[in-house]
Amino acid sequence: MSETFTSPQFDQATRDAVSNDDVTVIIGLEVHVQLDTESKLFCGCSTEFGAPPNTQTCAVCTGMPGSLPVINERALQLSIKTGLALNCEIARYTKWDRKNYFYPDLPKGYQISQFDKPICGQGYLDITAPKGEFEPRRVELERAHLEEDAGKSMHDESQRGGNSKIDLNRTGTPLLEIVTKPDMRSPAEARAFLTELKLILTYIGVSDCNMQHGNLRCDGNVNLHIKVGGEKIATPIVEIKNMNSFRAAERALGYEAGRQLKLWKQNGKTIADAPKQTRGWNDADQVTTPQREKEESADYRYFPDPDLIAVTIEESEIESIKKEIGRLPAQWRELLIKEHGLKPYDAGVMVGQGAEVVEYFLVVAQGCGNSKMASNWVGQEVLRFLNESGEAIDAYPVSADQMTELLTKVNAGELDQTRAKEVLQEMIDSKIEVQAAMDKLGIKAVDNSEIESLCRQLIDENPDVIQQIKDGNGKAVGALIGKSRKLNPNANPGLVKDTILKMIGA
Amino acid sequence: MSEPIDRKTVESVARLARIDLPEDQIDDTASKLGDVLTYIGQLEQVELPDDVEPFFGAIESVNAIRPDQLTDSVDREQILSNAPDADGEFYQVPPVL
Ligand SMILES: [Zn+2]
């Protein structure tokens, strides 16, 4: 850290006088992403989730003497792709090191990781607040390195001291660890970072980021900078583990910031007085609790793995991977705002649903020639269906082409919005196409002479409403629209309204 | 030149490596490890031309890479048989907190 902090002792009264305005929350994140490969990082065992325990291991991933790891080409490519999407420098020379520690789910007694030559160097990710909770911010990335996962331990929860059980299926699965600088200034920013990062990773197809399967895991480093008595002090840094959802991360960081302020007001201890501490987030109780430190755990004694040789990455390879990266979420948002007139918030919601939803929207918008209408229908009807059903867009019963056909009719005035929604519902319920749904609902085109005779009838039968309209109460026409619907549900209400007003000369 | 290794460092390294080092071997080990560091210190003094690139491993070649293809895993019964204790599905280890 470039800033230097003093470590003066302030008396209780001075500490108590510190207000929230004097406190800045400093957050850095470490995110582990499981890369979407078929086989593990250094052997050909499957990475498939959910297999029976210990059925996806071999001599290499269980660390048998004499076995030799060989690196997975796709894991390298996906790492480079991620680095490019995150504006990272891509190493031209990268190598692997052994991180030594003992734990039962780490059969070799070391993890193959990267120490001083990570595959991705410094980069950045820009975050914005959808509802303006914070100013847009550029979060700098320290690095991203490619390493192997450990296995899974299951401990006896009964307190009777039973054995722990170890499943090594996950051992050796490729992880990219993305490390930010301590650049975030609130738990909301941290959550926005995680949300945007996950969106980018899924858009470029390097990981499914399934947090339930542990395919995206996140730890946070947090402390406070406090302005007090004309000086600036920092509280001891705490690393929070086990933040198993983005919401949990936001809450854990918020809780921890509050805890640190309270603790500092009690004991006045600063970063100079206490080493970095590890705490775990307890989602049930909504608190962080101290985790027992592994003795001298920080001393990993990294050294270059003699079983692996370094990898050099050619400029041409980087260029060809660059071409595989399509538009990133931020670019999609910009396109939707600039070329399709969406409001920033709506563009954010649409892009946040994933690339397939954006593509669906684009087909409909271009097909029906009315982006605003397409955005309303996809943003409301389609997304509501997906939210309620929990399905992805490919399970939506109405294809983009059928939606286009429906909206084209609305755009041409052949269907009003209310009728069109009924048609859409019929299409979904009966799994039929636009025309079939319209036939089923008895919707047919109404010609102009029918409209005129309908309006004549409405005028003749409702003299008091007509008088109100003539007296300047424009809203009164609504009553006639309601009656028109009953007389002929196929008559376009807008057309009926215009015709009535023309006929009575209002 | 590196400082000679003291007893505390030897004890700490032994603990990290989970080596049970008898009390009467600590001084001897410290002196042997010190010899290694002294030798490395000599290597560090060799003058090199400025254009020599840093060297990270004992193997000069680069890029031994395999395609992302599945190969057969080892049968569970067979691989678990290497372990001191297993229950047919899982490895079993003494309780870990
Ligand atoms: Zn394997």
A197 closest CA partner among A173, A176, A224: A176
Q: What do you get for the CA distance between the two ends of chain B, in Å?
A: 42
* Residue A138, token pair as written in the block: 């550029």
CB A9 within 8 A of CB A210: no
* Amino acid at residue number A23: V
Which residues in chain A touch residue B36, judged by CB atoms under 8 angstroms apart?
none
**Choice between A419 and A263, residue whose per-residue pLDDT is larger:** A263
Please tell me which residue of chain B has the smallest CA distance to A166: B91
Question: Mind telling me how many Å the CA of B28 is from chain A's nearest CA?
Answer: 22
Q: Report the range of poorest mean pLDDT among A329-333, A414-418, B75-79.
A: A414-418
Q: Is B88 on the interface with A (CB under 8 A)?
A: no
* Residue B9, token pair as written in the block: 């460092």
**Torsion sign over Cα A412, A414, A416, A419:** negative
Restricting to A residues 122-141, those with a Cβ less than 8 Å away from any Cβ of B are none
- B77 has pLDDT over 90: yes
| Residue A360: HSE in the Cβ half-sphere, 13 Å Cα cutoff | 25
**H or E element that contains A230:** none
Select from A153, A156, A304 the Cβ nearest to the Cβ of B57: A304
Q: How many Cβ atoms from other residues are within 10 Å of residue A169's Cβ?
A: 25
CB A162 within 8 A of CB A30: no
Which residues in chain B touch residue A46, judged by CB atoms under 8 angstroms apart?
70, 73
Select from A59, A117, A156 the Cβ nearest to the Cβ of B95: A156
d(CA A232, CA A261): 14
d(CA A338, CA A336): 6
- A105 has pLDDT over 50: yes
Please write the tens of the pLDDT for every residue from A56-84: 999 999 999 999 999 999 999 999 999 99
Select from B63, B67, B80 the Cβ nearest to the Cβ of A312: B63
What is the 3-state secondary structure of A31-90?
A: EEEECCCCECCCCCCECCCCCCCCCCCCCCCCCCCCCCCCEEHHHHHHHHHHHHHCCCCE
d(CA A10, CA A22): 15
- A6 has pLDDT over 80: no
Ligand 1 centre distance from Cα of residue A151 (Å): 12
Please write the tens of the pLDDT for every residue from A271-300: 998 888 999 999 899 999 998 665 455 689
d(CA A424, CA A440): 12
C-beta atoms of B93 and A163 within 8 A: yes
Please tell me which residue of chain A has the smallest CA distance to B82: A64
Q: How many helices (H) and strands (E) does chain B have?
A: 3, 2
**Choice between A480 and B58, residue whose per-residue pLDDT is larger:** A480
Q: Is A68 on the interface with B (CB under 8 A)?
A: no
What dihedral do alpha carbons A234, A235, A238, A240 form, nearest 10°?
-90
Select from B58, B66, B87 the Cβ nearest to the Cβ of A70: B66
- A356 has pLDDT over 70: yes
d(CA A259, CA A255): 6
Q: Is B66 on the interface with A (CB under 8 A)?
A: yes
Beta-carbon contacts of A289 under 8 Å, excluding residues fewer than 6 positions away, are A279, A280, A282
Please tell me which residue of chain A has the smallest CA distance to B71: A44
Residue A1: band (very low, low, confident or very high) from pLDDT cuts 50, 70, 90:
very low
Select from A73, A102, A308 the Cβ nearest to the Cβ of B68: A73
Residue at token pair 């510190």: A18
- A269 has pLDDT over 60: yes
Q: Where are the alpha helices (DSSP H) in B23-80?
A: 26-44, 76-80
Instruction: Report DSSP letters for A187-207, one per residue.
Output: HHHHHHHHHHHHHHHHHTTS-
Which residues in chain B touch residue A54, judged by CB atoms under 8 angstroms apart?
76, 79-80, 89-91
Q: Is B71 on the interface with A (CB under 8 A)?
A: yes
Q: What angle do CA A449, A455, A459 make, to 5 degrees?
A: 145
Please write the tens of the pLDDT for every residue from A166-211: 999 999 999 999 999 999 999 999 999 999 999 999 999 999 999 9
What percent of chain A has pLDDT above 90? Answer: 71
How are strands ordered across the β-sheet holding A164-167? A152-154, A164-167, B91-93
Residue A475: band (very low, low, confident or very high) from pLDDT cuts 50, 70, 90:
confident
d(CA B21, CA B6): 14
Q: How many CB pairs under 8 A join A and B?
A: 130
The CATH architecture assigned to A448-503 reads: Orthogonal Bundle (1.10)
CA-to-CA separations, A228 to A17, A61, A256, A261, A427, in angstroms, rounded = 9, 52, 20, 12, 65
d(CA A383, CA A352): 11
What dihedral do alpha carbons A235, A240, A246, A250 form, nearest 10°?
-30
Which residues in chain A touch residue B94, judged by CB atoms under 8 angstroms apart?
163-164
Q: Report the range of poorest mean pLDDT among A169-183, A205-219, A312-326, B43-57.
A: B43-57
C-beta atoms of A53 and B92 within 8 A: no
CB A270 within 8 A of CB A305: no
Ligand 1 centre distance from Cα of residue A42 (Å): 7
Q: Given the cut 0.85, state whether the ipTM is greater than it.
A: yes
Please tell me which residue of chain B has the smallest CA distance to A78: B68
Q: Residue A30 pairs with which residues in a beta bridge?
A: A179, A219
Residue A306 — φ and ψ, nearest 5°? -70, -10
Mean per-residue pLDDT for A458-462? 90
C-beta atoms of A44 and B15 within 8 A: no
Residue B3 — φ and ψ, nearest 5°? -70, 150
C-beta atoms of A310 and B56 within 8 A: yes
CA-to-CA separations, A405 to A374, A420, A435, B91, in angstroms, rounded = 11, 11, 9, 59
C-beta atoms of B59 and A104 within 8 A: no
Residue at token pair 């609130």: A186
Q: Is B55 on the interface with A (CB under 8 A)?
A: no
Q: Is A72 on the interface with B (CB under 8 A)?
A: yes
- A238 has pLDDT over 80: yes
| Domain ranges in chain A with CATH number 1.10.10 | 448-503
- B1 has pLDDT over 50: no
User: Which residue out of A34, A164, A168 would a mutagenesis test of the B interface target, given it has the greatest number of B Cβ atoms within 10 Å?
Assistant: A164
**H or E element that contains B97:** none
Q: Is A166 on the interface with B (CB under 8 A)?
A: yes
User: Which residue out of A108, A309, A317 would a mutagenesis test of the B interface target, given it has the greatest number of B Cβ atoms within 10 Å?
Assistant: A309
What percent of chain A has pLDDT above 70? Answer: 97
Q: How many Cβ atoms from other residues are within 10 Å of residue A209's Cβ?
A: 19
pLDDT for position A317: 96
C-beta atoms of A59 and B74 within 8 A: yes
Please write the tens of the pLDDT for every residue from A399-435: 999 999 999 999 888 888 888 999 999 999 999 999 9
Mean per-residue pLDDT for B61-77? 92
Question: Mind telling me how many Å the CA of B25 is from chain A's nearest CA?
Answer: 23
CA-to-CA separations, A2 to A222, A276, A439, in angstroms, rounded = 17, 17, 72
User: Which residue out of A38, A39, A54 would a mutagenesis test of the B interface target, given it has the greatest number of B Cβ atoms within 10 Å?
Assistant: A54
How are strands ordered across the β-sheet holding A110-113? A110-113, A97-100, A303-304
Q: Is B45 on the interface with A (CB under 8 A)?
A: no
